[in-house]
Structure 1
Amino acid sequence: MSEPVSPPPLPVTWRPRRGRFVAYGFATLIVVGSVMMAIFIAQPFKLPDRVALVAFGCAVAFVLHLLGRVRVEADERGVTIVNALRTHRYEWAEILEVTLVVGDPWPRIDFSDGRTIGAMGIQGSEKSRAHRATAELRALISERGEAREGDAPGAGQDRQG
């Protein structure tokens, strides 16, 4: 096993490097390309066609922005998980644990109500950064979360590990 990691000072934000670079790089390329194509496209295409071409490029860039904005934020009150389509906010007492299995695209966070949510802001493909971020989040959860003994009735009884 790896050595224990101490919790980072709050607030802290984890976000992928490569995923953001690729998403925003391609978004820029697509918007610039669609504008250039709208300017230099052949004459049979009229203004509405050119506007539609730029609008389509902007729509693709927006989808890439949704992928580029993913992150996990921790503060004194809890954790905010910003995934591509949804943003989830949880208090520390609701979080049980975080796991990152080798080969998974991102870690999974387990909650006291039985839900499990993927944290896309920590990308498993960035191996050492992902393991470090997961270990830091795990340390914060054990320091502040429901996993502490005696915080709530039944806390930690169903967990293994």
Structure 2
Amino acid sequence: MMTAEALVLRPKKIRRVAWACAVGLVVVFTVVGLLLGNTPTGVIFRTSDQVAMILLGFLLAGGVLLLTRPRVTADASGVDVRNVVTSHHYDWNDVRSVSFPDGAAWARLELPDDEYISVMAVQAVDRDYAVSSVRALRELHKAARA
């Protein structure tokens, strides 16, 4: 259970890019779907084909918007990591450290037995935000383990 002082982290740049791509996909597939009926190729496209093309645009946009899902919520008791598809909760006692290896795309929580979980909410492309996010997570981890 999170307290009122919970730290919530979400990626910055990927959210803007994903929304722009999603809107672009919907617009392109809608235009293509509407123009399908007027082709000089001799192929007959029905209304159902046009609707299917538009729906395909929305489905692809929804897939792209999954990239906006990552989030980390942390407080003194533990950390919740929600990545694109999965969600996990870890008590700080189960986390050995918070790291951001050189060349990695995102931070990670180091777990016992040489295991780790990627923290996709803290991404290298966010630069200063990523640095401050890792520092904040490390401070919470340090305080909880003290």
Shared fold per TM-score greater than 0.5: yes
Shift of 1:92: 2.2
Matches of residues 5-154 of structure 1 in structure 2 within 5 Å?
Answer: 10-43=5-38, 44-112=44-112, 114-145=114-145, 148=146
Gaps of 5+ in 1: 1-8, 149-161
Runs of 4+ in 1 over 4 A off after TM superposition: none
SS in structure 2 at match of 1:72: strand
SS in structure 2 at match of 1:121: strand
CA contact (8 A) 1:94 1:113 kept: no
SS in structure 2 at match of 1:45: coil
SS in structure 1 at match of 2:109: strand
CA contact (8 A) 2:76 2:143 kept: no
Residues of 2 paired with 1:130 and 1:65: CA distance? 21
Shift of 1:37: 2.2
Partner amino acid for 2:78? Answer: G
Residues of 1 paired with 2:96 and 2:50: CA distance? 52
Residues of 1 paired with 2:88 and 2:16: CA distance? 24
Residues of 1 paired with 2:134 and 2:33: CA distance? 45
Identity score, percent: 28
Gaps of 5+ in 2: 39-43
Q: What are the Cα deviations for residues 43-85 of structure 1, in whole angstroms up to 9, with x where unaligned?
A: 4211221122122212211211111111211134321111112
Which is richer in helix? Answer: 2
